Chains A and B, each alone.
Chain A
Amino acid sequence: DGGITQSPKYLFRKEGQNVTLSCEQNLNHDAMYWYRQDPGQGLRLIYYSQIVNDFQKGDIAEGYSVSREKKESFPLTVTSAQKNPTAFYLCASSRQRTGYEQYFGPGTRLTVT
C-alpha cells in the first residue's frame, strides 16, 4: 500500500527545544517537500529536495533544517531559532519536481508552549 507517512500526528514541545518531524514515502518519488500551514492561511514551502543528499530552501526556511540521506525519508527539524513554530506541518512528494502532482502525508500538528 503506497503512500506517505508522517509521525507523530500530534507533538507538544517546550519553547527552546529542537524537535524532529518524520516523513517517509514508499512511492519511489524523487522529490519531497515540507510545508507549513497556519490557521486560515495557505501552504508555505519550507524546504524541498529533488534528489538524495540535496535540498533547497523554500520561502520560510529560517529556523528549520532538513536532511535527505535516503530517497524514502525527508525529516524536518524545527529548531529553537524558529520564532513561531506552532503550526500544522505537511510533507509531500512528487515523481519529479518539475510539474508533477504532489501527494501529501497526513500531517503533524506541532504545539510549542
Chain B
Amino acid sequence: QKEVEQNSGPLSVPEGAIASLNCTYSDRGSQSFFWYRQYSGKSPELIMSIYSNGDKEDGRFTAQLNKASQYVSLLIRDSQPSDSATYLCAVFNTGNQFYFGTGTSLTVIP
C-alpha cells in the first residue's frame, strides 16, 4: 500500500465549476498535509497546508482534512484555465517522512 494515493486523472472541469481533488494516506498518525500545484515542465509550488480536521480556505482554494477517514481533499472554486496543472498531495507521517502522491492532472476547459 502506498503512503499517499491520488487518482491520476485526468480530471476535466468546465471553466467556472468546482474542481475536487482527493488524496488518501496510510499512516493514521500523520499530522501535516500539503497541496502543491505543478505546471508542465515546472517545479511544484505550495498552495495549501492543513494540520487540523476541517476546512481551511485561501481564496478560491479550500483544503479539507478528515483524519478519521484518512483523506485530504482540495476544492478549487470558480476554476480557471490557468488552474490546469498537476496537483500533488504530500503528507508528513509519524516516521518523520515526507511523502508525495503521484499527482492528479486537472484540465479546466474554457
Partner of A101, one of B43, B49, B100, B101: B49
Q: Contacts A99-B92, A103-B46, A107-B43 known; A42 to B102 CB distance under 8 Å? A: yes
Residue interface bits A95-112, CB-to-B below 8 A is 1, else 0: 001111111111100000
B42 CB within 8 Å of chain A: yes
Q: Which residue of chain B is the closest to A103 with respect to CB atoms?
A: B46
Within A28-87, the residues touching B (CB, 8 Å) are 33, 40-43, 45
Size class of the B contact interface (CB-based, 8 Å): 10 to 19
Of chain B, the residue at the smallest CB distance from A108 is: B43
Are A41 and B96 CB-contacts (below 8 A) given A101-B46, A104-B43?
A: no
* Chain A interfacial residues counted at CB < 8 A: 18
A104 with B45: CB separation less than 8 A: yes
CB distance from A110 to the nearest CB of B (A): 14
Q: Does B34 contact A (CB under 8 A)?
A: yes
Q: Which residues of A contact B34 (CB under 8 A)?
A: 101-102
Minimum C-beta distance from A9 to chain B (A):
10
Chain B residue at minimal CB-CB distance from A91: B43
Kindly provide the distance from the CB of B14 to the nearest chain A CB, expressed in whole angstroms.
25
Q: Which residue of B lies closest to A106 (CB)?
A: B43
Residue of A nearest to B30 (CB): A99
The residues in B between 16 and 71 inclusive whose CB is less than 8 angstroms from any CB of A are 31-32, 34, 36, 42-46, 49
- Enumerate chain B interface residues (CB-CB to A < 8 A): 31-32, 34, 36, 42-46, 49, 88, 90, 92, 96, 98, 100-103
Q: What are some 24 contacts across the A-B interface (CB < 8 A)?
A: A33-B98, A40-B102, A42-B88, A42-B100, A42-B101, A42-B102, A42-B103, A43-B88, A45-B98, A98-B92, A98-B96, A99-B92, A100-B32, A101-B46, A102-B34, A102-B46, A102-B90, A102-B98, A103-B46, A104-B36, A104-B44, A104-B45, A106-B43, A107-B42
The 10 closest A-B pairs by CB, nearest first: A42-B102, A99-B32, A104-B43, A43-B100, A107-B43, A99-B92, A42-B100, A104-B44, A106-B43, A101-B49
Q: Which residues of A contact B (CB under 8 A)?
A: 33, 40-43, 45, 90, 97-107
